[in-house]
Amino acid sequence: MTTPLVAGNRITLLECGAEYFPALEAAIDSAQQEIHLETYIFADDGTGRRIASALCRAARRGVTVRVLADGFGARTLPATLGPALIADGVQLRIYRPEVATWKPQRNRLRRMHRKLVVVDQRIAFVGGINIVDDLDVPGEKTPRYDYAVAVEGPLVPAIRSAARRLWLWLHWADPGRRDTSPAPLSVPAVCGPVAAALLVRDNLRHRRRIEAAYLKAIATARDEIILANAYFLPGKTLRRALRNAARRGVRVTILLQGRVEYLLLHYAARTLYAGFIAAGVRIVEYHRGFLHAKVAVVDAHWATVGSSNIDPFSLLLAREANVVMENATFAATLRTSLLRHIREGGKEVAASDLARRSRVGLLFSRMAYSLVRVMIALTRYGGSEYRE
């Protein structure tokens, strides 16, 4: 099912934490009624303490503040920043708390990976940026490369509805928890030229909505596709769509993580390079820092920014949220940023580079891909997309 675009929004691209966190803190400090904040990671570092302090200030002045964090990504939050948040009146919930880290369980892969904030139904933030320092890797000097968007206008109520729906779902699952509902909020007026929609994926009705949006944009592309994704291991349908686009003359560039962050996914993804390059897809690895972006631009008018990687865990298991937009000005801004990072921090992978890979490296990549396929088969979701 296609999600209709909502016209009349002002959407601002925010690159990395240097742009995102000041905008987020300012929005929190201006809140008058309510704040919903969802994040996968909420770290006890300089950034985490800064945002936690802003949330506490809002709660102390009577704003309803709700924080939902993932039980794996933010597993230390209840013991670190959590007590201070709760003491100041912030309502804190943990999605699927990790209670037995040693015990293998299928549902442990179902994480709340969304990064979403709504303030007073006036402004919302959606993207891939967690509440964590950009430089959280010891010795790293280059900020993590990522994006979010600030949304103002008629789309904001849909984002608030998504956040509130998940919050209330957890409330029903734990009826003893307090839930203070704010007064009804006014609907934002038209304030910009961007038509946009919020796409969420869950394990119920919207399991393939984000993937379907990518497939539609790729299938209709005529000139160019630029896709940046930190953890990239698409199933057969998405791989075929990208290769077919390149074969019909579309310039397809995929910007991927060049550094090893998650060993399994990094090497599994490399098994796909040869097929893409043979079809005419340009593969660029980002080496300047750690890539965490999940964005795309198609034909200089369609764009998406969000939390969903193009790997089986994001597309099939995790709760995710992406904003899709149709607007030439926004798409041009994102495209310019992507091309700059490709130029300044990217290294294109050529067929000759693949030919020089060692037998050990090739074997390791194939083993990593096979292991991912086994893990997906065990979840019973989407296994056919990863059968060769």
The answer to whether 109 and 317 are in contact (CB under 8 A) is yes
Determine whether 294 is an active site residue.
yes
Determine whether 216 is an active site residue.
no
CA distance 129 to 294: 10
The answer to whether 154 and 190 are in contact (CB under 8 A) is yes
CA distance 308 to 293: 9
Backbone angles phi, psi at 265, to 5 degrees: -65, -35
Determine whether 36 is an active site residue.
no
Determine whether 113 is an active site residue.
yes
List 136, 294, 311, 341, catalytic entry:
294
List 120, 134, 202, 311, catalytic entry:
120
List 36, 70, 134, 292, catalytic entry:
292
Determine whether 299 is an active site residue.
yes
Q: Which residues, including other chains, have CB under 8 Å from residue 346's CB and lie 6 or more apart?
A: 255, 258, 284, 285, 286, 287, 288
List 171, 299, 347, 353, catalytic entry:
299
Determine whether 174 is an active site residue.
no
The conformation of residue 306, written as its DSSP 8-state character, comes to: E
Closest CA to 132 of 56, 89, 96, 81: 81
List 113, 133, 146, 202, catalytic entry:
113
List 36, 115, 266, 341, catalytic entry:
115
H helices present in 141-235, as ranges: 156-173, 209-220
The residues carrying an active-site annotation are 113, 115, 120, 292, 294, 299
